[in-house]
Amino acid sequence: MPLTMVKEGETAKIIKVGGKEETKKFIEKLGFVSGAVIKVVSKTDGNLIVNIKDSRVAIGKDMANKITV
């Protein structure tokens, strides 16, 4: 399921990052790689703030839909 389906407070493991090659590289540089565990801190209109690798990252709905958990 896409990352946007994860509820606030839940954790999930990233299975795959999709999208165009440049988008994929950008997302992976933020730490969103296969096998990484993330926790959704807050969710507003599909936009997310997540904890990943001891950092908080804000990610838009479009990019979050390219991340499969």
Q: Which tens digit of pLDDT belongs to each residue from 29-68?
A: 989 999 999 999 999 988 999 999 889 999 999 999 999 9
Structural domain total, the chain? 1
DSSP string, 33-68: -TT-EEEEEEEETTEEEEEETTEEEEE-HHHHTTEE
The answer to whether 14 and 36 are in contact (CB under 8 A) is yes
Query: Which range marks the domain in which residue 35 is found?
Result: 3-68
Q: What is the separation, in whole angstroms, between the first and last Cα of the chain?
A: 6
Residue labelled with tokens 């096998």: 35
48: domain CATH number is 2.30.30.90
pLDDT > 70 in the chain, percent: 100
